[in-house]
Amino acid sequence: CDESKVQKVLSSSDEEHQQPFKEKMDAFLKKAYEEHKEQEQNLEKNVKQSLMKQWFFLQLESKI
């Protein structure tokens, strides 16, 4: 779901029904963006950790 779809629904709805929907969708989208950002950060962190582990074990192997 993205903001353009929310706007499309809002433009085709009566004003009395817009506000509850808009509030809920704004909260939903904000939470979704925050969670997505957090997941991207976690992925980036895990990729870095994985590369460091690979490097460590390659160094360890070369000494054996």
Residue 25: per-residue pLDDT: 92
Residue 1: per-residue pLDDT: 65
Residue 32: per-residue pLDDT: 95
Helices (H), the chain: 3-11, 15-63
Residue 33: per-residue pLDDT: 95
What three-state secondary structure class fits 1? coil
Backbone dihedral region for residue 43 (phi beyond 0: left; psi -120 to 50: alpha; all else: beta) = alpha
Distance of alpha carbon 64 from the chain centroid: 42
Residue 50: per-residue pLDDT: 97
- Reading the block at residue 58, the tokens are 């390659």
Of the chain, the end-to-end C-alpha distance in Å amounts to 53
Instruction: Walk along the chain (64 residues) and give the pLDDT tens digit of each residue.
Output: 678 888 888 888 888 888 888 899 999 999 999 999 999 999 999 999 999 999 999 998 888 7
